Structures are given as C-alpha cells and as structure tokens.
Chains A and B, each alone.
Chain A
Amino acid sequence: MALDVAVHVGRPADLTAAAARAVDAVKVYGSGQTAVRALDGITVDFDAGRLTAIMGPSGSGKSTLLHCLAGLDALTSGAVFIGDTDLTTLSDTQLTLLRRERIGFVFQSFNLVPTLNATENITLPLALAGRRADPAWLQTLVGALHLGDRLRHRPSELSGGQQQRVAAARAMVTRPELIFADEPTGNLDSKSATELLEMTRVAVESFGQTVVMVTHDSRAASYADRVIFLADGRIVHEIGHPTMEGILDELKRLGA
C-alpha cells in the first residue's frame, strides 16, 4: 500500500517554505511494452534549511527524482518547483542558469574539472556567470571544509575526500537555495565519508543550507533530518529524525 505521504509531511507554506516541490511527478522511459515508469506520481515537498535523504533499492527511481528536481531531466507529466519556479516551463538555457544560480551539486564521482585547480573548481559556477566570488564567503567555506592548504592543487593531486570537499564547497559557493547530492559518500572511505557528512550537517545548521541527498548508505542517511523511502517510483515511507536502526529496519522491510 502506497502512503499518501504528502498529506503527512506537507506543512503549511506560512510555517516553513518548501525549497523544492514535486507535484504528481511522472517519468516514463521508453514506450509501449518496454515502457518503464521510473517515477509513478510522486508528490513531495523539501523543507528549507533541512537535510533530506532519499533512499530506496536500485531502480526505485531515487536518482531520477533527484535529476528531475535539479532540472537535469524532464518529467513526462506533473510539475517540479524550485522555490516558486516551475521547472517544466523553462528552456534549456533557463534551466542551466537556474542550476548555476540556485542549485548546487555533489556527485559520487567525477565531481571536478581535471584541468582546473581547487579554487577554480570551487568558483566555477560563478566564473561561468561572469561573477567574482565573495572573498569572505569563500574564506568561510574553505575554512569550514579544511581546504586551506590545497587550493592551488589540481584534482589529480587531491585525495578522494579532498576532492569531494572541494565539490561541496563548489556546491555552496553561490549560496544556492538547494544542494543536490547524489551518493556523495559512495566513493569515499569511512573516515572521509564521516568528515563529509559532518560538514554537511554544519552547512545545514550553521549556514541554513537546504540539502537533498540520494544515498544507499544508511549511516549517511542517519545524518539527515528526514529520510524518504522510494520503491517502484513511489514514495513508500518516511522517517523524521531517523536513527540507523530505524533506517535499516525499513530497508529490510523494502527488501533492499
């Protein structure tokens, strides 16, 4: 039985603004017999200033949801909002500018441009917009992510954890409304993963950053304020203020 989670999790807009919203989001790949409904009518709000984790077994649609929320992929039907902007009405260029200005990204791998050094990678979205970085903010980010001595290095000269922290700094440099992270700890050893997750919490708590994170890792999800579980393109469960045990139980129930 699919729960209508929106009823439970949706809060009145006057209490806490939703940073992003999906309304009856449907994504179908292919057509006819071979059609796959990757998203099967998802409606969900993501609260501002919170870290939300999306979990689910492989093929549950969690990455597709993230991509559609970030304007990287287009819905078959339904709508996606970043703030008040309906992404389904935007052109490719408008979407690109929206990603550049209002969204940050951290991916599992290949997060950095190999030909640019750490500072250049961090400020890349600003440079693409032809803007300069706010030195104080940059300083704050670099300090918070412990990157001070690695700024002139190229990605190939950085450890995996350092690379991912550079990516995190890049994601925050424009002070975006929202950061999307796709398995950010997937390629990291546990120490680096812990560091990154702790820094993410700092970003949420100290800077009021909104983060949506897709992950397989229940330990990573346990850092979230809220975990949403997907299966077969639908939201099947959610846990507020999760614990490792709660998450693992739910995953077991889902057979993941």
Chain B
Amino acid sequence: MFKIALRSTLAKKRRLLSTAVSIMIGVAFLAGTLVFTDTIKRTFDDLFADVYANTDALVRSSTSVELQFGGEIRGRIPESVLTTIRGVDEVAAAEPTVSGFAQIVGADGDPIGDPGRGAPTFAMNYTSGVLAPWEFTDGSRPPGPGEVAIDKGSADDGDLHVGDRITVLTQTGPHEFLLVGTVRFGSVDSPGGASISLFDLATAQEVLLGGAHEIDGVVVGAVDGVSEDELTERIAAVLPDGMEAITGTAITEETQDSIADAMGFFNTFMLVFAAIGLVVASFTIYNTFQIIVSQRSREMALLRSVGATRRQVLVAELVEAGLMGVVASLVGLVAGVFVAEVLQRMLAAFGMDVPAGGTAFGLRTALVALAVGIGVTIVAAVFPSMRASRIPPLAAIRDVSLDTSGHSKHRLISGGVVTAVGGGAFVAGLSGGRLEWVGVGALATFIGAFMLGPLVARPGARVIGAPLPALTGVVGELARENAKRNPKRTARTGGALMVGVALVAAITIIAASVKDWVRDAIGEQFTGDYVVSTETMGFGGLSPDVAVAIGELPDVALVTGIRTGAARDLNAAADAEYVAVAPATAGRLFDVGMIDGAVENLTVDGILVDDDEAMGRGIEVGDVLPFRFVDGVTRDLTVQGIYTEDELAGPFVVSQQLHEQTGVDQFDVSVYVAKASGVSDADAAAAIAAITDDVPNAKFETRTEFIDSMAAQVDPLVNLMYGLLGLAVLISLVNIANSMALSIHERTRELGLLRAVGMTRRQTRRSVRWEAVIIALLGSVLGIAIGVFFGWSISVTIRNEGLAAFVLPVIPLVVIALIAVVGAVIAAVRPAWRAARLDVLRAIATE
C-alpha cells in the first residue's frame, strides 16, 4: 500500500508541487523568523561578550526601575568610589563609565538614527587600555576636551570625517566637537545599529550629566591569578550602601538577557504572523486534499473493491500528505534563510533597523520548521483522508455522488456553535486580558466560519453573481453556476482568503479607531497652539533649555515642558512610569479632566492619579503613596488630585521639581506652547521656529500638524502588519489558483464541449476569471464581516468608552475587497490560460 501511495504521489508531481507551495511559504516564513531572531540575538550576544570581554567585575548602583517594554533606568554613583575600588589589592585596572543620550548630527544637518523606533543613540566616556571594547578605524588619539570619537557606522551614515567639526545633541543641548577618530566594536562598525559618541570623562560628565561628578559604573580588571568571583567579593566588601558589584560573566549574561527580553515581544509578534500563515496554509492543504480525494474517488473505490482495507486507504493518503509535508518543509526551510534577509529589509523599510551579521541557522530552527510543516500538512490532510477511506467499493461503478452539503442541518448547528464559541472566547479573552484566549477564539471563529461556508456559498454566489449575466452574458452565468455547483469547494477556496481579509480588515478598523481616539483625546485635552516634540521617546529628548528659550519670546503666552520617568510604586510592588510636569503651566495647556484637586496645586511631595488607577486601588485625595525613585530614595507622595484623561498623562503625574531631585537626566519629550493674544499665527510660528531650527532633533508643529502626526504614529506598525499579512493573503491566492486548476482539470470534458459548440478561448478565460472573482468576493465579504467583529471588539476594548467607540472605515474596506479580487484574478490567470488551451478533442473522445 505504501508503494501505491508513493507511486500515486510521484505520478502527480506537478499537483504535489502546487499543493506544497502553500505549506512551503508558511514554513519559509516560520524558518525565516527563527533564523532572523536567532541572528539578531547572536549578534547582540557576541557584541556584549566582546564589550565585556576584559571586564572581570562591574560596580554600579543597586537601585533600578524597570520600564514597560524592556530596559531599565539605574541610578548613578559618585565618582569618588573609584578611589575605594582602586585601593583593593586584587584590582589591576578600574575605569569609570558614563553614558547618556546623545545624537550625532550628520553632515546634512539631520540627526543620525531614530532612537524612538530603532537602535539607541548614546554617548559614553572613552576608556583606554585593556578595558576598551573598541578599536580605531581612523585616527588614533583618544578624544580630549572639545573632541569626540564616533562609531564608524554613524560616520559613514552621516558622511562625517576625522577633522570635521560635528554637532552632538545631548540633554544639555547641541554641542560642537572636533571629530578625532572613528571606532568599531570587534568586527562591527555600529553595534546593533546604535550610534555612539565617545568623550573624555570630564566632557562626558559635562554634556551628558550637566557637570555632576557622577558615573554610571566602574569596570574592573583583576590582577593575574584572581578569579572574577574573588575580585567581585573583595570589591563588594568595601562598597558603600546603594552599590553592588557583579562579575563580568554576570553583567554579560544580564545584558544579553535584557536584549532577549526586549526581543521577546518582537519575536512573538513575528511568530504570530508565521502562525497565521500556517493556519491559512493548512486550510489550503485541507481544501486541496478534499478536491483530490473526490477526483480520485474512483481510484480509491477500485482499490477498495480489489481488497484494500479502509485502513490501508487512510494510510496511503496520509503517506502522501506526509511526503508532501517533508518535501515542502525542506524547501521552505532553505527558503527561510532568504526570508530572514527579506524580513530584515522589510523592517528596515518600516523604520525598524535591526542589525544582523552572519546568518544563525540553528538546529532548533530546522527541527521546529520541519515538525510544524509536516505536522500541519498531516493534520490538514487527516479529514480528507478519512473521507477517502470511507469511499465504498461500489463507487467505482457509480458516478461521483452529488454534493448535497448546501443544506445540512448538522453543518449549520456544529458550524454555528464553533463560530459562537470562538467569538465568545475572543471577546472574553479581550476583556479578561488573556491573549491566548483571543488567539484561540479567533482560530475557532475562522474554523466555524469555514464550516458554515458551504451553507452560504450557494446563496452567496447567487447574490454576488446576480449582475453577471447582465454584464457579461452567458460567460458570467457559467462562472456563477460553476461557483454554485460545488458549494463546499467554493467555500473552502474562498475560506483561506477569508482569514487574510478578516485580519487585514480588523487591523484597518483598529488603526482607524485608534487614530480617531488619538485625535479626539489630543483635540480635547490640548488647549495650546504649538508643540515642539521629538521622536526620541523614552531615549533622551529635548534639552529643557528649549522650553526656557521659547518661554522668553514675547509672542508666547504660555509654555510647558513634559518629561517622563519611572519609579517603584511600593504599595503596588511594581515599577511604574510617570509624567513630570511644571504645575504652574501644565494645567493651562493640557486639560486632563481633573475631578478632584488642581494641577496648579501640585507640590514637590505630591502626586496626581488617574481615576481608573485610583478606583481600582481605592486611592483617594490625601492618601500617601510611597515611591522609590532611581536615586534609591523612597519618597512618600501625597495624592493631591484625581484626573480622568489618561491617554497622554498615564496613571501618575508628578512635579518636575520632584523629577529633578531624583538625579536622572532631564529631557522634555514635548513642549506645549500657547501664543500671546494679538500675535499673528505667522509671527508666533516664525519666532518659535527660529529657536527650534537650531535644535536638530526638535520637531515644531502647529496644533493640527501635531494631532495629525500623533495619529500617524500607528502607521509604521500597521504597515508592517499589512506587509506580514500579505503572506497569508499570498498563500490564500495560491489556494485559489490551486483549486481552480484542479476544478479545470475535473471539467476537462465540459470545457471541451463548450469550446466545441463555440466558446472562444477569450470567453473561456473570462469565465474562469469571473469564477475566481465570485469566490474571492465571497471570501472577502465573509472575511470583512469577521474582521469588523474582531476590529470592533478590539477597538472597544482599547478605548473602553462604550460599544460605539469605534470607526468603520468603509472605503478602505471596499479597497481591501477590491485588492483581494484583483489578487484572485491574477491567481486565476494560469488556470484560465490552461482552460483556454485545453484540447477540445478530449471532450469528445469517448471513454
């Protein structure tokens, strides 16, 4: 029986190949994602291993606050600790490290890098000797006062050369330096795509810390014969409170782990799309096998009538699926290496520049991709194979039975139940914050819709195809009738497309809703006229001098800068991010909807809390909340007000005075401005722009522009998701091409007859294309219906303002359907061509 399966598989190599394409694409994407993330991880691992290669111990502050999306803020330590450490016998060398936000300005005047989205841009002090992780590629002199060395990657990007005078932006504003050298790290020109400036220690403290005699840490090398652990223990023994010493191995691992954590989200994100691709691919496999089984039912029945058992038929079918899975997965695995390359470029195109040097192709990648590819194929083939095994021997002498699934009560009930349960799980998962439920619910919804598909296929095709006879005559009518004749197949063929379209539609709705929400929120809350902002969110920002300078303009009535920070919320035992404002002005430019207290009355030991947070924890005005800040000091903050609008303010607001006391770098992430009354728009704008023009990372916008650009912030992510969903859509188009080709094959004689009685090749092609259009529209309409449900429930959950708080972007949804239809027409080109080229005589040749 195995031999029969093998022979029948090999006899249909082309069919095997075209069926395998879908699983191949899915596996290629999965393998590509794994290769890609492995490559990034290895690049960073190698980098940090290099950076800390000569470090035996690291001394640093023991206080840190974790940020939401990976990363942490750690306090600084006094420079004086160096003397203490150098006094330890086992220490051979100890070098201070200082680092902070810095952005190099290129020769064209634009800052290099995009720290808001891509790799960080920062500066640190130049350390020489064995502890230095870098080497010069140009120049050789360590930077002195007024001088800088930068990484070779940034030098190339910004067209900067040794001897140039270059500008570097820091929290203390733009500074000009003489470029004395370019460096690289190990073999990397720009580690992780980061842009790095190197100063001498005094300059670093001056421009990065505003002159404080503090350092981030001390890297220590041991004398020969002393182990890391021993050294670290000795140092720890002499350190004052609030500091810790860890081994070089520990800091390497810690850094590698934090990168892995930060990458984790991205990794999961990509794998979700790989999974979507594979789900669509499995629908495709399922469909193809169903068609193959019905086309082969005579062959099966013949096998059964000459004595093959059901089991043997089942095994033969599964062997075929398995073989296909193996071949497809192997090809997909190899293609994955190229996909990894494409992914990297795609992300770069969407503004997320991720480094990757030397492809990392791990055993895990191979095993996972093969197991998933083969597994998905076999699982998708199980039901069709079981059906094959149930074909009675008598079918060999009977004509193939008619498809009666169009009106099955059983199907209606089971499909309805699965859809309802899936939808329920989706909504429940959303409201409960259980993402795995959301995923499973979505999958179940699709499967349920897939089951219900045959019930709607016939009436659906009738409605969609209704205008066709009038438009295209008998060609369109034939197309419509063909789409109706086998509702199961039509539904399955459109079903794969349904999944892709549903997800694209959902994302479109969510994006539109979020944009609407952002516009509403900012429109209502921001009462000023202009905004100066920076895209370097969370990684440095605008020097506070910018706000001061703008405030001094006679054309300006009010100005307020907004800063962000993080501290440990001791009552909640969690790290929390906060917004720091200038109480005197913030409330007059931003209305956060105070329901108790007033922003103006916020003092240095006070805090404002969002009403959801307050309600959830039973916090009231007058309560005291202890927070431990980055400087290691715990401050008891009195709740001085409650506000309702948390879209921009987040859960906590404190005063800038407090934020300054915690010793962290001071940056405004945005500066809000209201012009003085009687001043013309043009005058005010010109005056402010004159200041911001000198600050390369400042973006000056009017109120309208600001609202637009805030709303546009979701675009890169949405575009990336569209790009990734393109994969699922591509697989579903392969499915359409596949099914159409198989249907054409099945209809050879009918097509021959039509050609004989006068259907031209052109009419034949048109008929096939129209059939594809009907199938695609059917899939798209169902997909959009599901997408609207998903999009609506997610939008409503995010916004949390009632069930109507979402936007239905009608035109984009129509465009999605049109794109799906165009894709289907393209997918139908080859089947249509084959149908038109078909040998007319085969229809007439009697059996």
Contact = CB atoms under 8 A, between A and B. Distances in A.
Given A114-B485, A186-B846, A72 B758 contact: no
A111 B754 CA distance: 9
A222 B847 CA distance: 25
B478 A116 contact: yes
Nearest to B748: A110
Nearest to A70: B756
A72 B473 contact: no
A144 B617 CA distance: 90
Interface in B728-767: 749-750, 753-763
A101 B759 CA distance: 11
A100 B841 contact: no
A100 B753 contact: no
Contact of A113 (B402, B753, B844, B846): B753
Interface string B216-250: 00000000000000000000000000000000000
B846 A124 contact: no
B484 interface: yes
A108 B749 CA distance: 12
Interface residues of B, number: 30
Interface string A93-115: 10011011100010111111111
A182 B844 contact: yes
Nearest to B754: A113
Interface string B158-173: 0000000000000000
A186 B484 CA distance: 31
B749 A110 contact: yes
B527 interface: no
A129 interface: yes
Contact of B844 (A107, A124, A125, A156): A107
A108 B477 CA distance: 26
Contacts of B754: 113, 124, 128
A127 interface: yes
Nearest to B485: A115
B463 interface: no
Given A72-B840, A116-B481, A110 B755 contact: no
B473 A130 contact: yes
A96 B760 contact: yes
Given A72-B844, A113-B754, A96 B485 contact: no
Contact of B750 (A72, A113, A128): A113
A107 B482 contact: no
A229 B478 CA distance: 40
Contacts of A67: 841, 844
Contact of A99 (B481, B757, B761): B757
B481 A115 contact: yes
Interface string A174-185: 000000001100
A69 to B, nearest CB: 13
A190 to B, nearest CB: 19
Given A72-B844, A93-B762, A110-B843, A100 B757 contact: yes
Contacts of B847: 109
B474 interface: yes
A124 B756 contact: no
A170 B758 CA distance: 12
Contact of B761 (A72, A93, A108): A93
A26 to B, nearest CB: 17
A84 interface: no
Interface in A47-100: 63, 67, 70, 72-73, 92-93, 96-97, 99-100
B123 to A, nearest CB: 73
A105 B760 contact: no
A73 B844 CA distance: 11
B756 A97 contact: no
Interface size band for A? 35 or more
B481 A128 contact: no
A164 B757 CA distance: 15
A93 B757 contact: no
B487 to A, nearest CB: 13
Interface in A194-239: none
Contact of B756 (A99, A112, A186): A99
A127 B473 contact: yes
B55 to A, nearest CB: 77
A105 B757 contact: yes
Nearest to B761: A92
Contacts of B478: 113, 115-116
Contact of A96 (B475, B750, B755): B755
Q: A100, A107, A108 — which one has the most chain B CB atoms within 10 A of its CB?
A: A107
Contact of B841 (A72, A93, A110): A72
B485 A128 contact: no
A108 to B, nearest CB: 5
Given A73-B841, A116-B478, A110 B750 contact: yes
Contact of A129 (B481, B758, B840): B758
Interface string A110-153: 11111110001000110111100000000000000000000000
A186 B847 CA distance: 12
Nearest to B481: A115
Contacts of B844: 63, 67, 72, 107, 182
Contacts of B763: 128
B846 A109 contact: yes
Contacts of B475: 128
A97 B402 CA distance: 34
A128 B757 contact: yes
A96 B759 contact: yes
A70 B841 CA distance: 11
Q: B477, B755, B841, B844 — which one has the most chain A CB atoms within 10 A of its CB?
A: B844
Interface string B582-613: 00000000000000000000000000000000
B757 A170 contact: yes
A108 B846 contact: yes
Q: A92, A156, A182 — which one has the most chain B CB atoms within 10 A of its CB?
A: A92
A96 B755 CA distance: 7
Contacts of A114: 485, 750
Contact of B402 (A93, A110, A130, A156): A156
Interface string B826-847: 0000000000000011011111
Nearest to B760: A96
Nearest to B840: A72
B826 to A, nearest CB: 24
Contacts of B750: 110, 113-114
Contacts of B474: 120, 124, 127-128
Given A93-B761, A113-B478, A105 B756 contact: yes
Nearest to B844: A107
A125 B846 contact: no
Contacts of A107: 753, 756, 843-844, 846
Interface string B235-279: 000000000000000000000000000000000000000000000
A244 B368 CA distance: 75
A99 B841 contact: no
A110 B753 contact: yes
Given A110-B749, A113-B753, A183-B846, A96 B481 contact: no
Contacts of A124: 474, 754, 757-758
A164 B753 CA distance: 14
A125 B474 CA distance: 10
B485 A97 contact: no
Q: Report, nearest first, the 8 A-B pairs whose CB atoms are least far apart.
A: A100-B758, A115-B481, A127-B474, A96-B760, A125-B758, A110-B749, A128-B758, A108-B846
Interface of A: 63, 67, 70, 72-73, 92-93, 96-97, 99-101, 105, 107-116, 120, 124-125, 127-130, 156, 170, 182-183, 186
18 contacts: A63-B845, A67-B844, A70-B756, A72-B844, A92-B760, A92-B761, A93-B761, A96-B761, A100-B759, A110-B750, A111-B753, A113-B753, A124-B757, A127-B473, A128-B759, A128-B760, A156-B402, A183-B846
Given A67-B844, A182-B846, 10 more contacts: A63-B844, A70-B756, A96-B755, A97-B760, A113-B753, A124-B757, A128-B759, A128-B763, A182-B844, A186-B846
